Amino acid sequence: GENVEQHPSTLSVQEGDSAVIKCTYSDSASNYFPWYKQELGKRPQLIIDIRSNVGEKKDQRIAVTLNKTAKHFSLHITETQPEDSAVYFCAASDPGGGADGLTFGKGTHLIIQP
Amino acid sequence: DTAVSQTPKYLVTQMGNDKSIKCEQNLGHDTMYWYKQDSKKFLKIMFSYNNKELIINETVPNRFSPKSPDKAHLNLHINSLELGDSAVYFCASSQDRWERGEETQYFGPGTRLLVL
């Protein structure tokens, strides 16, 4: 089955700086890669996703890049703000491929220092 | 209106009891899921259910069973609760797990289960 590794487990950056979280996956059949943000005591919320036919996707201060050959993808947050503090999860899946659901990384606790 | 809802929000119970968690989605989605988030925040798929097809993660004990009375609901039944079942359980749904572009999953608010 799919295995997703996520680094770092904790990331502390100064407000206004950029943050980068990296993930690798093992199953070359995976073709959908979402990122979720989870605030304390809340549900995971989708912030951006990318499919395997695209190398990069951007939404305002958030961008995701995907390298299918190397089987890794990254989340980039620019001009970080205090409300960006949360746990971020990457995930991978192969919808329709027989495997079910999303395989998540172990999460990155992002701390924005004022 | 809440797209994916779960009840109860909190559940405290004794070891050995049987309990259920309800999940409803009003998005018209075809596929529903259950995830378990343990104390280390690790999220793991338990089940997915689509059009009467149930896919079970092989690591899930058979004390856990999902039941779907209709397309909008996927309830989770847990028999003979154990201490290790304490976790947050999230329900999720997606439009269609088979169709590219429709696989985005939306999560419910979670049910915090504590087994004493």
Kindly report, residue by residue over B43-102, the tens digit of the pLDDT.
999 988 887 788 877 789 999 999 999 989 999 999 999 999 999 999 999 886 555 566
Residues of B in contact with A107 (CB under 8 A): 41-43
What does the pLDDT read at residue A99? 46
DSSP state of A83: G
Q: Does A107 touch chain B (CB under 8 A)?
A: yes
A-chain CB neighbours of B101 within 8 Å are 51
Lowest-pLDDT range of A29-43, A55-69, B69-83, B99-113: B99-113
Average pLDDT, chain A: 93
Whether the CB-CB separation of A108 and A8 falls below 8 Å is answered with yes
Whether the CB-CB separation of A62 and A48 falls below 8 Å is answered with yes
Give mean pLDDT, residues A63-73: 95
Terminal alpha carbon distance of chain B: 34
pLDDT in tens, B19-47: 999 999 999 988 899 999 999 999 999 98
Q: Which tokens hold the place of B84? A: 């290790």
